[in-house]
Amino acid sequence: MAWDFVVDKTDLRHAEFRPATLPDLAEGEVRLAVESFALTANNITYAVFGEAMRYWDFFPAAQGFGRVPVWGFATVEASNHPDIAVGQRFYGYYPMSSHLTVLPRKTRGGFADAAPHRQHLAAVYNQYAVVAADDGQEAHRALLQPLFITAFLIDDLFDEHAMFGAQSIILSSASSKTAIGLAFLLKQRGGAQVVGLTSPRNVAFVEALGFYDQVVTYDDLPTAPIAAPAVFVDFAGDAGVLGAVHRRFGDDLAYSCLVGGTHWEAKRGAGDLPGPKPILFFAPDRVKKRQEDWGPGGFESRYGAAWSAFVADAARWLKVETGTGQDAIASTYLAVLEGRAGPEAGCMLVVD
């Protein structure tokens, strides 16, 4: 039976499974059966910014509800496309649903979904890569690769601007996987102290990573000895944290970068702040710029080298946890939404 897992856009805790109808395929269309997907705080960010950044538009749902985008794997169940065969597997951007119908346009290594409703959206999310065989890293790919791309792009932005002259780069939600990826890259690059902001319960985990030069709890931020000038990267999306950093550093804050919303229930919009105006980072725009700057294959080769090093290290601290079926999907969604999933956990969900 086909189904969609939908969430109330005004109350993310209100979620339910609904039966779905599988439409007859038009010419050139393909139906994919979703096999498995990762669920992380990044997916909650997609929901939090669903209206503002058009994430809800990728996979439309009934009025007032949305299908949270996830990264995972699917198999071709039916095909009206001459170059896409039943049984092929693809990695990419899916809804929390049992199926997805796409209109493939062949690309090197896979296809792009040419469905009309997706053409005004960020192209990077419309790409699907063929998967030849399970190489033993599928879970790490789904859990970490979408997050690490963002980390890679932020690190590249900072390198392009010589770290904005900062002596410290401060990351909120330091135990989140995107922050971990950025800390990994910044530590390798050097030139500035990498400072992680986190809750008391996650201090030991964050320190053990070895990527942060300094770990500070949110409560200790006002008085902690952090070198200035500083750059702030906000993965939490918490107005209180954002305001505290700006008040602490004022004009000694060289750059303020808004990325995520792990503290999704916290108040947003801190009003007038001392120091620089916070700037929202949108990864697809940076991808497009660097693909143009670096030419054919340039982005892929540079990112690939960084990814290989990061994923090799991830086996040291990431614990993959797998759940199967609707009960596991619903309970894991709530656990991630409410911050009950430990920072070391990587939640993979299998569609049964």
Region(s) of the chain under CATH 3.40.50.720: 145-282
- Domain 145-282 class in CATH: alpha beta
75 neighbors 99 (Cβ within 8 angstroms)? no
pLDDT for residue 265: 46
pLDDT band at 41 (very low <50, low <70, confident <90, very high): confident
pLDDT for residue 50: 87
80-127, pLDDT tens digit by residue? 999 999 999 999 999 999 999 999 999 989 999 999 999 999 888 999
55-74, pLDDT tens digit by residue? 999 999 999 999 999 999 99
140 neighbors 156 (Cβ within 8 angstroms)? no
Region(s) of the chain under CATH 3.90.180.10: 3-136+319-350
pLDDT for residue 260: 66
266-280, pLDDT tens digit by residue? 445 556 789 999 998
Nearest to 39 by CA among 180, 143, 115, 144: 143
Model pTM score: 0.87
Q: Which fold has domain 3-136+319-350?
A: Quinone Oxidoreductase; Chain A, domain 1 (3.90.180)
pLDDT for residue 340: 86
Whether residue 263 has pLDDT greater than 50: no
Phi, psi angles (nearest 5°) of residue 196: -105, 125
Region 323-350 average pLDDT: 93
216-253, pLDDT tens digit by residue? 999 999 999 999 999 999 998 888 899 999 999 999 99
161-199, pLDDT tens digit by residue? 999 999 999 999 999 999 999 999 999 999 899 999 999
